[in-house]
Amino acid sequence: MEKYAWKAMLIEGKLEEYQKRHREIWPEMVEVLKEAGIRNYSIWIVGNEIFGYYECEKGAEFAAAFQKNSPVVDRWNEFMKDVMFMEMDPVTGAQPKLECVWNLD
């Protein structure tokens, strides 16, 4: 299973709202992630930096393309603009993929 990690920035003072929105994540957003083959998804924060990690059951390329073509993901990204800033990858249109430099299996 391919691994995928991304990062973004939390807007100052928006942590509580960011957490609230994820506690109340839309069922249709969860469904899109599952249809994209995304599993074991977690989001971490340190200071104002947000890090996401997930595993791609159908491959990272498929997951990125599926999300890029989803109107639900578009709405979610618009909904989250006032609490976080994420520069999307210009090639894939998805979260900016971090490069793995080491992994302990």
Catalytic residue among 1, 19, 22, 82: 22
45: closest CA among 10, 12, 76, 16? 10
Active site residue 39: no
84 backbone dihedrals φ, ψ, rounded to 5°: -150, 160
Catalytic residues: 22
